[in-house]
Structure 1
Amino acid sequence: MQVGLHIMNFSWPGGPAAIGPTLEQALANAEAAGIHSFWPMDHFFQVPIIGPPEEPMLEAYGMLAWAAGRFRTLQLGALVTGVHYRHPGVLVKQLSTLDVLSGGRAWLGIGAAWNGQESRALGVPFPSMAERYERLEETLQIAQQMFDGDDAAYTGTHYRLDYPVNHPAPVRRPPIMVGGMGERKTMSLVAKYADANNFFELPDPAALRHKLDVLRTRCDEVGRPYEDIVKTTFGQLGPLDLDHARRRFENLADLGVDLAIVDLPDPADERVYEFMAELVREVEPMGRPTPAPLSP
């Protein structure tokens, strides 16, 4: 099993001028610790569970491109892009560019989105949930087509692309991760179109096992091998207690989780990365052999 890094809070001392150097040092420490990937959240404003909208928030794809030029092993994706934020053809071009310039390290993380406040604040249309799911399925179809080099015209209910050419092609076809816990629509889309899922790391292992069992059922319904899906979770790291963390990640590995993405107590604290290096060494042998989409 592997460990990914999520950062959602950029309220560091020193104001805007300090964000770049602080983030650069954090990611350098993460890469040195053997962390698999960097997953900033794709929001325009800070989310309410963390702080008010006036808190600092960086745009995800600018940040990922910046990181790609500075680091050589971290894989890179958003956790996760709201489907209505960007036109799918433009989004695929962004991902393909990121993949080419990073040498094959880009992932497309995407979901149906939820934060209407930030969309309305910036004038971004925020369709109904039903329409966002329709747009998500069309976007997944378009991404598959463009990543595969098929430039035939695409006509859907919400999108029409007359000539979806995508050159240069990605170095590695970016794995598609769909985020969300919905048992009917979201998991059906994972089974039909995605290379990976992302679930919240639920505190009750039985509850997470149930979600994974539902995903298995959705795969069976479309004739997709459940084992083809890279299982990922997102959670808070919590106290820096190696024994506690080892048991926690052993439980995740036993459930079949391949990649555990965590938010650190303070990503600017260099001491946390000594702990993370130990944790990465502990969890690497856990679980099944690394699925192909986890490797560049």
Structure 2
Amino acid sequence: MEIALHVTRFNLPDGPAALPAALTAAAGAAEQAGFSTLTLMDHWFQMEMPDTAATDPMLEGYTTLGYLAGQTRQMTLGLLVTGVTYRHPGLLAKIVATLDVLSGGRAMLGVGAAWYEREHNGLGVPFPPVADRFERLEETVQICRQMWGPDNGPYTGRHYQLAETVCVPAPIQQPGPPILIGGSGEKKTLRLVARYADACNLFAFEFGEVERKLEVLARHCETEGRDPSEIRRTILTLNDPLDDPDAFLAAMEQYAKLGVGQVWVTPTVPDSASWVEQVGERVVPRLRDL
């Protein structure tokens, strides 16, 4: 099983000026430790949780990935996940294609239906009803696929109309960067995963729930006439693997039996680099054998 690093917090004791060095150190430690992927959240405001506030520091995702593309050489780079409302799909396709070119073919597109209404209202960005957002999500994936391919013609959808889907230079990865659709909604999200995605990502709160969601995905794949093995199964855990490495690895062994091939972990301390180094020493070699 592969391990991925998900960076979600940017409040450092020394303030924003320390962020470039801290991100560089964390990314370098992750590559050295054998992490396969590095992702950030795609938010304008920090999420409101018991220990975080909307006014906490939050970096714009794709700008940060562009910076990290120059600091890394091996890891896949992406956002977990881009809200479909945050960027016009034509612009999003161009941004991800640019990241893929400048990173040497290491971009991924993580995308979802968006949910954080406060940041939309705060910055004056329209936040359509949930049904519309899912329709926009489907059209966005279609537009990205078209822009990354040879068809430069128009795209006409219910929500988006593009006169020309020109994207030059094209992504290095062909037929384009892998697309991960985030979320676990059984009626809409997992159906879109079965229809379009290269990967899914589920919250690893309970093993039985992940198992059931993957069964739902398999049924959608059958309806769509698609082999479920074509879709990479990944999970995001909020548990710190350093709290109890043996218990963490035992849980991951069970997920591996479901066909899960990658787990995202999130640093729990401001000094992400040292945390990543410890995970690399105590967890990664054993996780790789699962």
User: What is aligned with 2:194?
Assistant: 191
The CA RMSD measured in Å over matched residues stands at: 1.2
- Partners in 2 of 1:212 and 1:77 — Cα distance? 23
Q: Percent identity?
A: 46
- Which runs of 5 or more residues in structure 2 are unaligned? none
Given residue 108 of structure 2, which amino acid in structure 1 is its aligned partner? W
User: What is aligned with 2:30?
Assistant: 30
Equivalent of residue 174 in structure 1, options 174, 177, 181: 177
- Partners in 1 of 2:166 and 2:284 — Cα distance? 40
User: What is aligned with 1:102?
Assistant: 103
Shift of the alpha carbon at 1:237? 3.6
User: What is aligned with 1:253?
Assistant: 256
- Partners in 1 of 2:273 and 2:141 — Cα distance? 38
- Partners in 2 of 1:47 and 1:9 — Cα distance? 10
Shift of the alpha carbon at 1:268? 1.5
User: What is aligned with 1:289?
Assistant: none
- Which runs of 5 or more residues in structure 1 are unaligned? 287-296
Deviations 1:157-216 (A, max 9, x none): 0100111111111111200000011001001100111101111112x2111100000000
User: What is aligned with 1:52?
Assistant: 53
Given residue 182 of structure 1, which amino acid in structure 2 is its aligned partner? G
Structure 1 residues 267 and 227, CA, compared in 2 at 3 Å: closer, same or farther? farther
- Partners in 2 of 1:47 and 1:269 — Cα distance? 19
- Partners in 1 of 2:144 and 2:271 — Cα distance? 35
Structure 1 residues 97 and 39, CA, compared in 2 at 3 Å: closer, same or farther? same
Shift of the alpha carbon at 1:270? 4.0
- Partners in 2 of 1:270 and 1:140 — Cα distance? 34
User: What is aligned with 1:290?
Assistant: none
- Partners in 2 of 1:248 and 1:264 — Cα distance? 19
TM-score normalised by the chain length of structure 2: 0.95
Is structure 2 residue 45 aligned with structure 1 residue 42? no
Is structure 2 residue 161 aligned with structure 1 residue 164? no
Shift of the alpha carbon at 1:269? 4.5
Task: Give structure 1 regions of 4+ aligned residues with deviation exceeding 6 angstroms.
Answer: none
Deviations 1:233-257 (A, max 9, x none): 1112425122122112111111211
1:111-150 alignment, distance < 5 Å = 111-150=112-151
TM-score normalised by the chain length of structure 1: 0.94
Q: 3-state DSSP class of the match of 1:247? A: helix
Shift of the alpha carbon at 1:149? 2.5
- Partners in 2 of 1:88 and 1:220 — Cα distance? 28
User: What is aligned with 1:76?
Assistant: 77
- Partners in 2 of 1:22 and 1:275 — Cα distance? 16
Deviates more, 1:193-202 or 1:270-279: 270-279
Equivalent of residue 246 in structure 2, options 243, 248, 262: 243
- Partners in 2 of 1:127 and 1:236 — Cα distance? 29
Q: 1:42, 1:79 within 8 Å by CA — same for their partners in 2?
A: yes
User: What is aligned with 1:65?
Assistant: 66
- Partners in 2 of 1:127 and 1:55 — Cα distance? 26
Equivalent of residue 285 in structure 2, options 281, 285, 296: 281
